[in-house]
Chain A
């Protein structure tokens, strides 16, 4: 193992620790916000924003997506597109048949 490689891994480990601390703080933030009993739309928005930040940290740093090969990005891009369609389906059913006729 070269010295450069070892230094690189040491740098990664420091990042993992920082991400871990951030995730812990954000977990406490998530629970603390829920204690305020915000109106449901606001509560959902805030909870999802915090969850997306936490999820992105896990994906980018623990799953190394921040420095991954192009093919993985393509696979995930396609997955995200289908995932959005999947989540949009319930929304479409609530638009009084604008998209889906009964």
Chain B
């Protein structure tokens, strides 16, 4: 049986089912990261001393990664806009750039993590590092998940464009909503962990 309301909006909600689904999922994601942020606040305010992030972490690398992720958000929304303009070739370029930028983010994170481990800075060392690795690690898993879905739409999933372009456009929009959420979480992680 086909999934209903993937192309046309449901009359009572005015939305496709996919869009409602992704927003409900994002709502649960807000609570997941919210719980970790609340833990961070509790641990930090309860601590007698707390290090400034920039004394332990690499701010230039994280700033670079912030720029990378924001740029990937723009390429993602441009990929969707390209489909809306009926330009599939341009979509592939922007979607390819989005996946690539996600990869750049992960490579930078790999260098950051390995430098920490080489210098003996493990999550077990103190609460700051524990919360740093938990939050950035969970965020990194989201980046990997988003990249996997975007890569699917870039290659095998793009066949749908030929048979049902509107459905494909809606799916890319939903995938974009998740990707922007990942960017949004980083926008809060960056100052709270690295700069304060």
Contact = CB atoms under 8 A, between A and B. Distances in A.
Interface of A: 1, 5-6, 9, 12-13, 16-17, 19-20, 23-24, 27, 30-31, 34, 40, 43-44, 47-48, 50-51, 54-55, 58-59, 62-63, 69-72, 75-76, 78-79, 82-83, 86-87, 89-91, 93-94
B120 interface: no
A85 to B, nearest CB: 9
Interface residues of B, number: 46
Contacts of B31: 79, 82-83, 86
B41 A47 contact: no
A3 B70 CA distance: 30
Interface in B34-65: 34-35, 37-38, 41-42, 45, 54, 59, 63
B188 A51 contact: yes
Contact of A69 (B14, B41, B66, B183): B14
B180 A62 contact: yes
A32 B136 CA distance: 22
A63 B86 contact: no
A83 B34 contact: yes
A2 B66 CA distance: 37
Given A31-B59, A40-B196, A69-B14, A1 B85 contact: yes
Interface stretch (B73-81, B141-149, B150-158): B73-81
26 contacts: A1-B85, A5-B84, A6-B85, A24-B67, A30-B195, A31-B195, A34-B54, A34-B59, A34-B191, A34-B195, A34-B196, A43-B196, A58-B73, A58-B183, A62-B73, A62-B74, A62-B77, A62-B176, A76-B27, A79-B27, A82-B34, A86-B34, A87-B41, A89-B38, A90-B42, A90-B45
B38 A58 contact: no
Given A34-B196, A51-B187, 18 more contacts: A1-B86, A6-B85, A20-B71, A30-B195, A31-B63, A47-B192, A47-B195, A48-B191, A55-B187, A59-B180, A62-B176, A62-B183, A72-B19, A75-B20, A75-B23, A82-B31, A82-B34, A83-B31
B188 A55 contact: yes
A94 B45 contact: yes
Interface of B: 13-15, 19-20, 23-24, 27, 30-31, 34-35, 37-38, 41-42, 45, 54, 59, 63, 66-67, 70-71, 73-74, 76-78, 81, 84-86, 176-177, 180-181, 183-184, 187-188, 190-192, 195-196
